[in-house]
Amino acid sequence: MKLRFPEEFLLGVSSASTQIEGGEVGSNWNDWYHKGHIKDGSDPAVANDHWNRWREDSDLMAAMGLHVCRLGLEWARLMPKRGEVSVEAVRHYREELSYLRDLGIRPLVTLHHFSNPMWFEEKGAFEKRENLKDFLDFVRMCADRFGDLVDDWITINEPNVYATNGYCFGAWPPGRKSYTQTFRVMENMAYCHIRAYEILHETRKKLGYTDTMVGFANHVRVFDPKDPKNPMHRFFAKTGEWLFQGALTQAMGRGEFRFPFRNHWHIKPGEYCDFNGVNYYTRSTVSGLADGVRENSPRNDLGWEIYPEGLVRCAEKLQAVLPRPLWVTENGTCDQDDRFRAKYIYEHLQAICTSGLPFARYYHWCFCDNFEWIEGNTARFGLIHIDYETQKRTPKRSAEFCRDLAQNGGVTEECFEKYVAGEEYDIR
């Protein structure tokens, strides 16, 4: 074997409801599209039509031999109005979750993945502490209605990305540009995670289940100084890492609210995650407040540096804060023509399997090409090619590679030579 997975290692794929389902569901992202903010004009109401094609997509996962999959529940679909639950949406998601389980695929459900109902968005969303009850009501509803079908939960996906893109850079809804609001949103989302963690465990326990696993998907990256000898570069790298991810990890994982956050709710320090969810893509090369990319480095089609060692470096820091099983809840790359995706996957799997750290799962981002937020349909991260005119699904070469990984419990020499050996990154 070229690379063998650890015993009981689980391989799967990730997706998000807004990015694949389609439908005019009354979300902040439907609204953001109508305001003209999607670069290529793609409409999230179209997306991949997964809402109607979920059986086909589930069957494709099963044909790849995948063990697990990550999917989202669309809040705006399930609760189109405050306090109102859609019986039809509940029935639909229960049917999809049951079908996955029947196929032998264990679902990991995400409750918040960047998308808000407009009724929540219009009242200030996570900016205001008085609104947080609305999200927790949604969590209770999901725990009650899906708790018998879902063992594994992610409360919130990448609250740092949600906050910085929406409240610092103004690129995502609601389009704010305020450091104060950015940190307030992160702080409030940390509280929401902790309470959601408690709700999910309490509800599942009442239902008679003791194997509940709850965490959050932590977007982490390496922050390296452009010039390690330059004290200002080192300062900005250290500061950027703490403000973007370090403080949030402490708050959400341990209930320790440190600068720039405040513990308004008197949360007791403790342990508020059952696994470390790691969303990892790239490294930032830092010389000031803005992100940079290392010169003469391998890059994907969005210009992000490809740096597999960074996944392990980030995981080591997470383990130092809270030792837990490591689940790579997102890892993937924009590769429009599927030229180097197999190499990318192999090198990241090689890094984690040789690290000595307790990696237990790997979810590739993403299952299929999808609506990639403000990039629209132009950025392709998927193992399955989507023809957006016809919605035809076609497994890519990298999907065949992942099928072999699942079947063989790692990478055989033959598999490596067939899929990985001839691939090369762009160096810029």
> Could you tell me if 342 and 397 are in contact, meaning their C-beta atoms sit under 8 angstroms apart?
yes
Category of 262 on φ-ψ map: left (φ > 0), alpha (ψ -120 to 50) or beta: beta
Query: What is the gyration radius of the CA atoms in the chain, in angstroms?
Result: 20
**Residues in contact with 99: Cβ distance below 8 Å, sequence separation at least 6, in sequence order:** 54, 55, 58
DSSP string, 40-67: T---TTTTT-HHHHHHHHHHHHHHTT-S
State the burial class of residue 295 (Cβ atoms within 10 Å of its Cβ: 0-12, 13-18, 19+): exposed
CA distances from 310 to 52, 86, 241, 352 (A): 38, 42, 13, 10
Structural domains in the chain plus CATH codes: 3-427 (3.20.20.80)
User: Would you state the pLDDT for residue 114?
Assistant: 98
How far is the C-alpha of 279 from the C-alpha of 158, rounded, in Å? Answer: 8
> Could you tell me if 185 and 176 are in contact, meaning their C-beta atoms sit under 8 angstroms apart?
no
Name the residue among 363, 362, 340, 365 with its Cα closest to residue 352: 362
| Tens place of pLDDT per residue across the chain (428 aa) | 899 999 999 999 999 999 999 999 999 999 999 999 999 999 999 999 999 999 999 999 999 999 999 999 999 999 999 999 999 999 999 999 999 999 999 999 999 999 999 999 999 999 999 999 999 999 999 999 999 999 999 999 999 999 999 999 999 999 999 999 999 999 999 999 999 999 999 999 999 999 999 999 999 999 999 999 999 999 999 999 999 999 999 999 999 999 999 999 999 999 999 999 999 999 999 998 888 999 999 999 999 999 999 999 999 999 999 999 999 999 999 999 999 999 999 999 999 999 999 999 999 999 999 999 999 999 999 999 999 999 999 999 999 999 999 999 999 999 999 999 999 999 99
How far is the C-alpha of 4 from the C-alpha of 224, rounded, in Å? Answer: 30
Paired strand residues for 157: 217
> Could you tell me if 362 and 311 are in contact, meaning their C-beta atoms sit under 8 angstroms apart?
no
Token pair listed for 198: 């408690």
CA distances from 194 to 188, 213, 215, 243 (A): 10, 13, 9, 19
User: Would you state the pLDDT for residue 280?
Assistant: 98
Phi and psi at residue 86, to the nearest 5°: -80, 110
**Residue entry with tokens 């949604």:** 138
Our CA dihedral for 319, 225, 166, 385, rounded to 10 degrees, sits at -80
How far is the C-alpha of 242 from the C-alpha of 18, rounded, in Å? Answer: 29
User: Would you state the pLDDT for residue 341?
Assistant: 98
Q: How many CB atoms lie within 10 A of CB 356?
A: 9
Q: Read off the DSSP letter of residue 70.
A: E
